[in-house]
A and B are shown apart, each in its own frame.
Chain A
Amino acid sequence: MAILVVAAHDGTAVRANVANAVAAAGQMGSDVAVLVAGSNCGEAAKSAAAIQGVAKVLQAEDAAYANWLAEDIAPLVAKLAPAYSHVVMAADSVGKNLAPRVAALLDVAQISEAIQVVSPDTFVRPIYAGNALATVQTSDKIKVVTIRPTNFKAAPAGGSAPIEQIGGEGAKGLSSYVGAELSKSERPELTSAKIVVSGGRGLGSGENFKILETLADKLGAGLGASRAAVDAGYVPNDYQVGQTGKVVAPDLYIAIGISGAIQHLAGMKDSKTIVAINKDEEAPIFQVADYGIVGDLFQIVPELTAAVEKK
């Protein structure tokens, strides 16, 4: 049966992780439709149509959908859902907010952060901060699933699906959008960066994060942080990597001044290569690091920056 992927977007293009969701959906069945809801979302709908494997794009134009309020979008998704066997979303802040509301409206269970599709009704998902993997099977008629984007290779561009206009449902009047305070950064987006440089409590201050920024810029890397660094106010919360922050799986993850608590490892231990720089030889991060260097980060990081610059 057909599958519905619900795509978050910024008005001009769908989020990069929609291509990962389309790839995951392709493993659950065929005939993948993508829902793009918003106001003036024509460009976003076109970007969805260009993903390979998409059979059809549904464009729902309605002012009520402009800011992804779950109260307004969930009823639309729930209305469309009975024509599909699966409703799939990326497990980002939009998907996590919306998918359970959709599932409850349909009276079905929701599967969170699937990392593997075993069969159309069976999925693998991490539990206990990634320290165990559960294989779960659902008997519900409609399967509402969020997928962890880093575990599915993005579907390539090159598609040309037709775009169908569908009507909106209007606003439900339960909530309204006031505004956003978004972090501005020239660096690659954390969850899709090839290299991530992350700092923890060992940095000592927000000011000291500058040495990480310099290293990140030299490597073309995204900048992340542990919860300790966020709580101490060194960097904004959206830098946080871990069980309660973002999950990343870059080619190279450099953990600097991060001890490696269970909750942090949950967000980065699928990285291809892990480097740890820490003065504490016993820090748990060394148990998962491919390359570790014990010493003062304030000496090592500038040295490393200089060394990668030389090439």
Chain B
Amino acid sequence: MKVLVAVKRVIDYNVKIRVKADNTGVETANVKMSMNPFDEIAVEEAIRMKEKGQATEIIVFSAGPAQCQETIRTALAMGADRGVLVQTDAELQPLAVAKLLKAVVDKEQPGLVIVGKQAIDDDSNQTGQMAAALLGWSQGTFANKLNLADGTAEVKREVDGGLENIKIKLPAVITTDLRLNEPRYASLPNIMKAKKKPIETLAPDALGVDVAPRLKVLKVEEPPKRKAGIKVKTVAELVDKLRNEAGVI
């Protein structure tokens, strides 16, 4: 079974972001970019399937500007087999990415698609569910554990009250939660090998997908700042402040 993994290039999770002065977005020039952490987990899960003999080939999908090649290379260095980049400088929103993903799935015919549950930049948490809907496939979102059986997948999902177990028919779309696995680091020899692995580049037009944004971003602002607080010396002082100043206990 082929497995397709979707990865996104985002601002590194450790970076303290800056809102642009003209309120059109967030500063991305000269900022460290990395693979979205949830997508690393998706790549790792696919590689583990290959190591267990459940996956025959791992295809890495990404959509965005030319630099997304680097993100695909990172996944190839971790152990994926080849990449597909849908290259465009247009702003991509989840519905557009889901449509591009569907088009590539139609072409490649994988038995399973794994994506991160959300990207840490737009925080949408939509693409996997949308792709599943467009494909008419089942979905196993917020996966904490994944077991493949014959033609089905058992998914342990992270839900509000704890965990939930579902059984879904393959092909399916899985979205990864943080606790699904611990992604490996790519070794230097594997990084070198990854340079020789193929990446196919496609255009949205060639896939027949209109990627025009449906949501117009009117402005991006900094959230209100919290007023600096005070440090207290003793527990007695803390309790006094909470009772008499803040009135919260």
Contact surface of A with B, Cβ cutoff 8 Å? 67, 69-71, 74, 92-94, 96-105, 107-113, 122, 125-140, 173-183, 191, 195, 219, 227, 230-231, 236-238, 243-244, 246, 251-252, 262-263, 269, 272-275, 286-294, 300, 303-304, 307-308
Contact = CB atoms under 8 A, between A and B. Distances in A.
Given A109-B93, A263-B13, A291-B241, A93 B230 contact: no
8 closest A-B pairs by beta carbon, nearest first, are: A104-B133, A100-B129, A109-B214, A100-B126, A104-B130, A174-B138, A178-B165, A290-B229
B133 A74 contact: yes
Given A132-B17, A132-B222, A139 B137 contact: no
Contacts of A132: 17, 19, 26, 220-223
B229 A93 contact: no
Interface in B53-97: 93-95
Given A93-B160, A135-B219, A243 B123 contact: yes
Contacts of A71: 138-139, 168
A21 B236 CA distance: 40
B235 A304 contact: yes
B189 interface: no
Contacts of B159: 93-94, 180, 238
B21 interface: no
Contacts of A275: 238, 242
22 contacts: A67-B166, A70-B132, A104-B131, A109-B95, A110-B95, A112-B124, A112-B125, A133-B223, A136-B217, A137-B215, A138-B214, A176-B166, A177-B165, A227-B178, A262-B13, A272-B246, A273-B246, A287-B228, A290-B226, A290-B227, A303-B235, A304-B239
B138 A175 contact: yes
Interface residues of B, number: 80
B161 interface: yes
Contacts of B222: 131-133
User: In this complex, which of A92, A108, A237 has the most chain B Cβ atoms within 10 angstroms of its Cβ?
Assistant: A237
A292 B17 contact: no
Nearest to A310: B239
Nearest to B117: A244
Contacts of B194: none
Contacts of B120: 128-129, 243
B140 to A, nearest CB: 8
A252 B241 CA distance: 12
Contacts of A138: 214-216
A21 B215 CA distance: 21
Interface of B: 11, 13-14, 16-17, 19, 26, 93-95, 98, 117-118, 120-134, 137-142, 144, 154, 157-169, 177-179, 214-223, 226-236, 238-239, 241-242, 246, 248-249
Contacts of B142: 93, 96-97
Contacts of B236: 307
B94 A110 contact: yes
Nearest to B224: A133
Given A178-B165, A293-B234, 12 more contacts: A70-B129, A92-B160, A93-B157, A103-B126, A109-B93, A109-B95, A112-B124, A176-B168, A179-B165, A181-B165, A291-B231, A291-B241
Contacts of A110: 94-95, 124, 126, 130
Nearest to A8: B160
Given A252-B246, A290-B246, A130 B235 contact: no
B166 A178 contact: yes
A112 B121 CA distance: 13
Contact of B130 (A101, A129, A131, A181): A101
B141 to A, nearest CB: 5
B223 A291 contact: no
